[in-house]
Structure 1
Amino acid sequence: MANEHTAEAVNNHFIDIFKKADVQKHFADLNIELLRGRHIQDDAHYFHRLLSKYFIELKKYYEVFYNLQLDKKTFEGVTYFFLTFYEDSKGVLSANSRHRDLTPIETIIAITLLQMYYERYFDNVKEISFQNIKAKIKESEFSHLYKLAFFKNGNRDNFTKKEWANVTKNFKNVIQDFEQLGWVDKFIQIDDKNFSFVIKEAIHRFQTMYEYEISNFEEFVNNLDQSNYE
């Protein structure tokens, strides 16, 4: 009997939070962003506050109605929230149109951004431009691997303007997708050859999901089918 009363009290509290003014004002938009795969960190003030304040109740909501897990992690002192799947289920987002793994080229671009995040570890704002990325491809420790990944017949030192334009386009498209995930922010098109953006702490989620590819970067690049990336 006590268990029944406890369960009823929990369920009533779970339902009651949706009557609260702050939930009614912001939850619909927050729900859309979470279901799109966005990672919510503290720069999204109202959403972050809602998730922090009602985490237990909203966690139950996503479990009951979507069979999804509302989770949170803290990286570099910043807590971010996201939806993920339980180990035995992909929930209602399991269709390919609503969920997919990163492609190989997306994975390599994410690894590149993660490396650049750590290179700017002591910067309060990790702002990157494509010119920074281009220099990393040409001159960094992993230059030979980047060239293999981003260019056909990458065992060269010089590439045409057309080849660089294709790399620019690939990075731009992927980074704009990552902006939807909440891994980067403030994308700005500077000119036809350059753009800038800010890498956010939530890119840590990629690090937790793709540990093997990050740790075995050279093997991963060497196994790529480059015909897919022209």
Structure 2
Amino acid sequence: MSSEHAVVVTGSTGGLGAAAVERFAAAGYRVFGLDRAASAAVARPGVQQLDVDVCSDADVRDAFAEISAGVEVVGLVHCAGIAAFGPKNPGHLISPESGDLIDNLTTIERTLRTNLLGSFTVVRHAAAAMAQRTPDEDGARGFVVLTSSGAALDGKAGQSAYSASKSGVIGMTLPLARELGRFGIRVVTIAPGLFDTPILDDTPPLPRHVPFPARMGEPHEFAALAHHIAENSYINGEVIRIDGGIRGGFESPIPFIK
């Protein structure tokens, strides 16, 4: 891959995003990481980190303008997102014990804004940048990899806001693939299960829920799938689970219980 071809990775300083940065840089792409903590990232050849809040249209617009001024954007791997809720901050709407209202609407709104609206914000600018490229011999101009979650399909009690935000990412996948296909841009979503990333730092390991292999996923496994999607031009409009076969049925009705 030419070093003049750039892949943009959001959420680039940790977890799935950091692994994607490493994988695409190793494959010869120029990589631009967009993250609110980009200034703290370790420097590496072929990678440039930009301080960007994916919820800010102005931030994202300026980042893509800067990137596109020097290289052609051929891909987006959008990993930026938040869980917001966990064992110490359950996302229930009412108390499971008393039925009293829980005052967490601000957190619910932040979750939806970051995970769903943030996805639209980044995709619109990435797609506009790719659409300006000269297509290759197959008519291709680029690819978009979005990140959903197994919770979008098998959400547990207390995950309604997070599940809704990630279900929205699934819901946008096929319509965007159809919209952007005329420009030679593919759109694919990955739905990870339980991965060993900072987003689950406060969560007990849950390998007993995974059929095989009975362990948490490793970020490099997500990155390998994202890279395969980039290289396989016939994958489009699809949602791909990567979760060791985990499906619903946590023994506790409350999420994140060991």
Instruction: Say which structure is richer in helix.
Output: 1
TM over 0.5: no
Could you tell me the TM-score, scaled by structure 1's length? 0.28
Between structure 1 and structure 2, the one with the greater Rg is 1
Could you tell me the TM-score, scaled by structure 2's length? 0.26
